[in-house]
């Protein structure tokens, strides 16, 4: 079984930016968000349930689900959010396991935004956190998603706190400014995780967690 490095962080922290860096150097990346979007798009039973819950207005003209509208609903209503998470989570989990089973390389990245919220830590061998100050997260998602300050702040208050994420992580990339440095961190972690995966396979390191903690601040 491949060695699994969970990559997590709050909204807009830079998970995709970092995971793209890993992809670029040939690392296998399994992304829960991409899996979720595919399930919403292609799983008829899921789109039927979503239609039943929100009505025809949730569809675009081409009958695909209007994702920005769905996002708006779930971030404004806790019941809707939990309902959707419970609907998707078992399928995402099953798909993720299927993807991971197919991986032949010694280690992989598993991008999992809700690692803390859904208590998924036990499924990872190691946890890499992309940590960003809330102020920067807000600025980035306002720009990227064209939402206002209140909407952006609200989404962040619904997520786990930075402190909670930091407390469960093994390695941390502090992604405040210097986006150019990401490639450097990615190269470092490639070497580091290749080493850990090898040691893990040889069972040299029993408890991998909290050994060799790395922080890039
Ligand atoms: P989400 O949780 O919404 O999927 P994410 O954690 O994957 O977000 P990204 O999509 O990687 O975050 O980044 C969010 C936005 O911030 C993107 O537009 C990205 O280009 C930008 N960004 C990422 N890192 C930095 C940085 N260090 N400096 C400036 N902008 C950045």
pLDDT tens column, 155-182? 999 899 999 999 999 999 999 878 888 9
Question: Is 123 a domain residue?
Answer: yes
Q: Looking at the structure, do residues 108 and 53 belong to the same domain, yes or no?
A: no
* Mean pLDDT computed over 102-115: 94
132 is an annotated ligand-binding site residue:
no
- Domain shared by 122 and 209, yes or no: yes
Residues of the chain above pLDDT 90, percent? 74
**Based on the domain organization, do 154 and 187 belong to the same domain?**
yes
- How much is the average pLDDT of 13-37? 95
C-alpha 199 – ligand 1 centre gap (Å):
32
Q: Given a cut of 80, is residue 213 above it in pLDDT? A: no
pLDDT band at residue 34 using 50, 70 and 90 as cut-offs: very high
Over the chain, what is the mean pLDDT?
Answer: 90
Torsion of CA 164, 170, 176, 178, to 10 degrees: -170
* Annotated binding-site residue? 55: no
Q: Give which of 169, 156, 64, 71 is closest to 112, Cα–Cα.
A: 169
Backbone angles phi, psi at 215, to 5 degrees: -130, 130
Calculate mean pLDDT across residues 20-47: 94
My answer on whether 121 and 204 are in the same domain is yes
Q: Are residues 151 and 71 in the same domain?
A: no
Do 8 and 68 fall into the same domain? Answer: no
Indicate if 119 and 178 belong to the same structural domain: yes
Asked whether residue 90 falls in the same domain as residue 107, the answer is no
CATH of residue 159:
3.40.50.300
The percent of residues above 70 in pLDDT, for the chain, comes to 94
Q: Which residues pair with 216 in a beta bridge?
A: 173
**In total, how many domains does the chain have?**
2
Atom of ligand 1 nearest to the CA of 175: 27
169 and 129 Cβ atoms separated by less than 8 Å: yes
Q: Mean pLDDT throughout 146-162?
A: 91
DSSP result, 48-116? HHHHHHH-GGGB-TTSSB-HHHHHHHHHH-HHHHHHHHHHHHHHHHHHHHHHHHT--SSEEEEE-TTTT
Let me know whether 136 and 212 are in one domain.
Answer: yes
Q: Is the Cβ atom of 179 under 6 angstroms away from ligand 1?
A: yes
For ligand 1, say whether the CB of 14 is within 6 Å of any of its atoms: yes
* Ligand 1 probe mutation, 6, 8, 11, 16, most atoms within 8 A of CB: 16
Q: pTM value?
A: 0.90
Ligand 1 midpoint to CA 13 (Å): 5
Residue 150 domain-assigned (yes or no): yes
52 and 159, same domain (yes or no):
no
- Inform me whether the pLDDT recorded for 204 exceeds 80: no
């Amino acid at each position: 079984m491949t060695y699994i490095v969970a990559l997590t962080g709050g909204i807009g922290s830079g998970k995709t930016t970092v995971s793209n860096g890993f992809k670029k150097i040939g690392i296998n990346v399994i992304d829960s968000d991409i899996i979720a979007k595919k399930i919403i798009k292609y799983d008829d039973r899921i789109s039927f349930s979503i239609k039943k819950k929100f009505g025809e207005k949730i569809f675009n003209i081409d009958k695909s689900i209007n994702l920005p509208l769905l996002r708006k609903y779930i971030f404004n209503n806790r019941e809707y959010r939990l309902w959707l998470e419970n609907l998707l989570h078992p399928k995402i989990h099953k798909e993720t396991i299927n993807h991971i089973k197919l991986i032949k390389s010694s280690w992989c990245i598993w991008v999992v935004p809700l690692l803390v919220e859904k208590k998924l830590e036990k499924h990872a061998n190691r946890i890499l956190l992309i940590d960003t100050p809330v102020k920067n997260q807000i600025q980035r998602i306002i720009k990227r998603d064209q939402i206002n300050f209140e909407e952006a702040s609200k989404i962040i208050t619904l997520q786990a706190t930075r402190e909670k994420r930091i407390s469960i992580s093994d390695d941390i990339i502090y992604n405040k400014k210097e986006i150019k440095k990401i490639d450097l961190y990615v190269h470092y972690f490639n070497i580091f995780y290749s080493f850990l995966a090898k040691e893990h396979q040889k069972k040299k390191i029993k408890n991998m967690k909290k050994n060799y903690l790395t922080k890039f601040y």
